[in-house]
Chains A and B, each alone.
Chain A
Amino acid sequence: MADTPLTLLGLESSCDDTAAAVVRQGDGPADILSSVVHGQADFHAAFGGVVPEIAARAHAEKLDLCVIEALDKAGLTLRDLDGIAVTAGPGLIGGVMAGVMMAKGLALGAGLPLIGVNHLAGHALTPRLTDGLVFPYLMLLVSGGHCQFLVVRGPEDFSRLGGTIDDAPGEAFDKSARLLGLPQPGGPSVEAEAALGDPAHFAFPRPLLDRPDCNLSFSGLKTALLRARDQIVAEKGGLTRADRADLCAGFQQAVADVLAEKTRRALRIYMAEAPSVPALAVAGGVAANRAIRQALEEVADQAGVRFTAPPLRLCTDNAAMIAYAGLERFRLGRRDGMDLSARPRWPLDCSVPGLVGGGRKGAKA
């Protein structure tokens, strides 16, 4: 492609990571010139989850420092940029708002265009940044806040094939860890325990496999784990380490089985479109779980489809994906005004009804 080189700054503050990054694309693949991510795990540790007000407070006083750091690392100044991309939703609204206002100030002050980016589009377009995937590809987004299958057809063209109707898998891992007294974030600690356990010792359900669609549910799995735990505690007065490992292994296997089977169904729908270069991409923190990743790779292999998962630092929340998604929108001529809104909910595919009711807790889109 003979495109003019473009350099964008990206800002991300929709959950518990404050991030800024600079991405440049000329002829050929895009380069991440810098990507700064400051987590807030220590602030939230005592509360067993992300506290929105604590997150918003941290973002508001950290974002501009992240921007300065990202520009320094890239060896650039604001004058070298072509635009400012910012996550405008979905996410925890206090943090998204801090990011959007910071980006407006920066864009106006530096005389640069402003581009609002959907956080989920950032994740969904990352395989183009890392692996140069061509449209359309199938995307499974699995994280602490999201779980959905998307056919990605263009920078702003997504079809949702299905998603969770309650918790996201990462959320279920966190809650399971809490129920078993394991440290947060739950994903890595449950995975480490599961490696020592027997997945067949406790019977866990495989929610929604009896339905032909691509929707998922993880809330009941967490309840099954709680019941199994309470039954052991009632019998023995506590858990042995072997019990804990077996519970983790059984839970993880159930999540992996459900994701694999629903991915198989999503692939069938996707392959019916006869894509030119078929590919399955996985993004989100849960994609870091080796058992789940392996199960998904096998499904892709069986279907004869290329499998990609971006490296973990680009799989979890970051601003390089926001800068890149902004760059794709920028090339389509998209610009946002100073009245850009921060949105707590913002589905990528508005043609299908939402899976989770507007006012309910749970997955955000």
Chain B
Amino acid sequence: MQDGDIVHEMSEPMARGQAERLVPALEEVLAHTGQSWGDLDAIGVGVGPGNFTGIRISVSAARGLALGLDIPAVGVSTLEAVALTAPRPVTAAASASRGGAFYQVFTADGAGPPGLEHAEGDVTGWQILAARSDRDSPVMAFDAPSDTSTETLTTQPDHSLVAGIARIAATRHTDPALPRPAPLYIRPADAAPSRDLPPVLLD
């Protein structure tokens, strides 16, 4: 993005191999626009919510680039990018694993806290979100599943995810209190405390 315009963007759907592909892809985008790394003022990076490993790949690379180039990296939530140009109120959503849906409600007064709607039995998190929202707060997402019950109730933003991230990053990169980008997990790490009980001590 340059002077408020998206100059070039690319996106490749891939199931795996993002860690190998990401940096070469960034170099291709820069080369396409005739820019070099030194021309950048800031780096915007999506922090999710989404696939944990995927988010860490991009966040780690962005933090490394920021340190290497001595420019800020700006973490941008996928849900914010969804809602960027949407009329308020809107329920921004993104796919979670096992049929769940991440969501965040944006109203004229601001944004609510991000959350996660789990699937319940055969009902997906998307269907629960769709049933709860109404015409005044439609569900919007980049990656809604294509089953009919959700599809009819979900709209797409008029820009891409990566363009939304760049636009939002451009409004924040000069903030002196800008935090380093950190993944937005919402779901805690899947781990249970050890169940081994220690033996009774007799003395």
A binds B: yes
A57 to B27, CA, bound (A): 27
Minimal beta-carbon separation of B66 from chain A (angstroms): 7
A240 to B192, CA, bound (A): 29
Let me know if A110 and B68 touch, CB within 8 A: yes
Q: Produce 1/0 per residue, B184-203, CB < 8 A to A.
A: 01000111111010111111
Let me know if B183 and A57 touch, CB within 8 A: yes
Q: Produce 1/0 per residue, A82-121, CB < 8 A to B.
A: 0000000000011001111111111111101000000000
Note all chain B residues with C-beta closer than 8 A to A68. Answer: 67
Let me know if A109 and B69 touch, CB within 8 A: yes
Let me know if A101 and B200 touch, CB within 8 A: no
Note all chain A residues with C-beta closer than 8 A to B65. Answer: 105-106, 108-109
Note all chain A residues with C-beta closer than 8 A to B193. Answer: 46-48
Closest to B194 in A: A48
Closest to A13 in B: B60
Let me know if A103 and B201 touch, CB within 8 A: no
Minimal beta-carbon separation of B79 from chain A (angstroms): 19
Categorize the interface residue count of chain A: 35 or more
Please tell me which stretch of B18-26, B92-100, B122-130, B136-144 contacts chain A, meaning at least 4 of its Cβ atoms lie within 8 angstroms of it: B18-26
| Most A-side CB within 10 Å, residue of B24, B58, B182, B191 | B191
Interface membership of A338, Cβ < 8 A: yes
Let me know if B63 and A64 touch, CB within 8 A: yes
Q: Produce 1/0 per residue, A58-80, CB < 8 A to B.
A: 00110110011000000000100
Note all chain A residues with C-beta closer than 8 A to B20. Answer: 339-341
| Most A-side CB within 10 Å, residue of B60, B64, B65 | B64
Interface membership of A41, Cβ < 8 A: no
One of B21, B27, B61, B183 near A102 (C-beta < 8 A): B61
Note all chain B residues with C-beta closer than 8 A to A97. Answer: 19, 53, 56-57, 60
Let me know if A106 and B201 touch, CB within 8 A: no
One of B27, B58, B60, B203 near A63 (C-beta < 8 A): B60
| Most B-side CB within 10 Å, residue of A63, A102, A236 | A102
* Chain B binding surface SS class: helix
Take A63-B60, A101-B60 as given contacts and tell me if A178 and B19 are in contact as well, using a CB distance cutoff of 8 Å. no
Let me know if B64 and A240 touch, CB within 8 A: no
Minimal beta-carbon separation of A160 from chain B (angstroms): 27
Q: Which residues of chain A (221-266) have a CB below 8 Å from chain B? A: 229, 233, 236-241, 244
Note all chain A residues with C-beta closer than 8 A to B189. Answer: 51, 53-54, 57
Minimal beta-carbon separation of B98 from chain A (angstroms): 15
A47 to B192, CA, bound (A): 6
Interface membership of A179, Cβ < 8 A: yes
Closest to A55 in B: B189
A161 to B31, CA, bound (A): 49
Interface membership of B81, Cβ < 8 A: no
Q: Produce 1/0 per residue, A283-323, CB < 8 A to B.
A: 00000000000000000000000000000000000000000
Let me know if B67 and A47 touch, CB within 8 A: no
- Identify the A interface with B (CB < 8 A): 46-49, 51, 53-54, 56-57, 60-61, 63-64, 67-68, 78, 93-94, 97-110, 112, 178-181, 229, 233, 236-241, 244, 338-342
Please list the 8 inter-chain residue pairs (A to B) with the smallest Cβ-Cβ separation, ordered nearest first.
Answer: A109-B68, A105-B64, A181-B198, A48-B194, A238-B200, A101-B60, A105-B65, A109-B69
